Amino acid sequence: MDFNLTDTQQSYVETVKRFVRNEITPRVMEWEREHLFPWTVIQKAWDLGILNLSIPASVKGFEVDVISTALIIKELSYGDTGISTSAMCNDLANAVIAQHGTDEQKEAFLKPFAEGPMLASFCLTEPGAGSDNSAMTSFIKKKDEKTYLLNGTKCFITNASYASQFTVFCKVGKPAGNFMACVIIPLTSIANGDAGTNYLQGKEILLPEGGKVIIGKPEDKLGQRLSNTAGVTFEDVVVEQDQIIGDRRLGFKYVVDVLDYARPMVAAIGVGLAKRALDVTLEYTKERKQFGQRICDLPVARESLVKMWKRLELADIALMKAAFKVQEGSPDRGLYASLAKNTAAEAALFCANEGLHLHGGYGFMSEYEISKLARDAHIIDIYEGVREVQDMIIGREIV
């Protein structure tokens, strides 16, 4: 494993840093206060080629390797983790198609994302099934020899209000079924030109093939307010055979495969936030004086800054090793994906909380970015598998 970036990877990093500096950081606190979904930033990210990174070269025309993807997500997260979550969830939804879909399915369900800025949603979590995916009750059942009907409700779905396509995991035959399927539900009637105008509204979409999709009101969240999160209900949605990805009995395997890919990307989000928290704290403590000297020169404060830096660097190393393992298809990639996810989440929480503490009373004021980062950090420890689930995976693998 070589820690030196290739020319292409260095170009990605510099391009995204410039994008974040010009398009995100100058306005991120304004968007945060107004709870705005930054659709124009998503469009510009697509124009720049840093959206839909999991789409294969056979469809998109060029390939972005896993390490480069992690670098891009990390730099985007330095600007805002809500925006990077929206971007990353496109890949979460589309990676299943890229990994297990037929050439025809890749053309049908991935090509539109290469042709224009669109958002997708990955629909796994349910009100009664969070960490325990086997407890989900959404299901497909046969309508006739060629079609199925999808029914069920998903919750905490990123991009739901603006998604043009849903990747849905569900039981087969009945809610208590033993097998899980992955189906794709495209919403051809949704125009992305309307995105950003209906943040406070739910919507009901009647599908021309039959059935309807109901999008709930966006969630009012503690943090990551620049990503959209809402519930989705599927009522008698007609599913054709070509909308089922791979074997309709192997959905659980597909979940594991895509989460092995996605967890390093969540780690990248955590590392990006931790780096931002350290940088804004360094800037503040270099300017602010107490007891006749800069806060950063006080031994107790410097000790905290060192601890923040160490957590960040260790998380970054874990991220790069996990990305390398996933890229190489190593048998133990899931182990290192879980390690990176946990390490980066811990770094994000530690750096944000210590950074807030070093800001003193000002850190508790919403006008200071560190307060936003402290709120944003908590979800990194939760989504794509809480820390306890990651520890379960690590424990199983090492034993």
| Catalytic residue positions, numbered | 384
Instruction: Tell me how far CA of residue 326 lies from CA of 64, 70, 257, in angstroms.
Output: 13, 11, 10
272 and 255 Cβ atoms separated by less than 8 Å: no
50 and 72 Cβ atoms separated by less than 8 Å: yes
Map residue 140 onto helix, strand or coil.
Answer: strand
- How far apart CA 327 and CA 63 sit, in angstroms, is 12
- How far apart CA 119 and CA 182 sit, in angstroms, is 18
The phi-psi region of residue 375 (left if phi > 0; otherwise alpha if psi is between -120 and 50; otherwise beta) is alpha
The alpha-helical segments, DSSP class H, found in 244-298 are 251-287
Q: Residue 48's closest CA among 83, 3, 81?
A: 83
Phi then psi dihedrals of residue 217, to 5 deg? -65, 135
Residues listed for the chain:
399
- Sheet strands (E) in the chain: 119-123, 139-142, 147-158, 163-172, 180-186, 203-206, 212-215, 229-240, 289-290, 293-294
**93 token code pair:** 């939804």
- How far apart CA 78 and CA 87 sit, in angstroms, is 14
Tell me, letter by letter, the H, E, C secondary structure of 321-355.
HHHHHHHHCCCCHHHHHHHHHHHHHHHHHHHHHHH
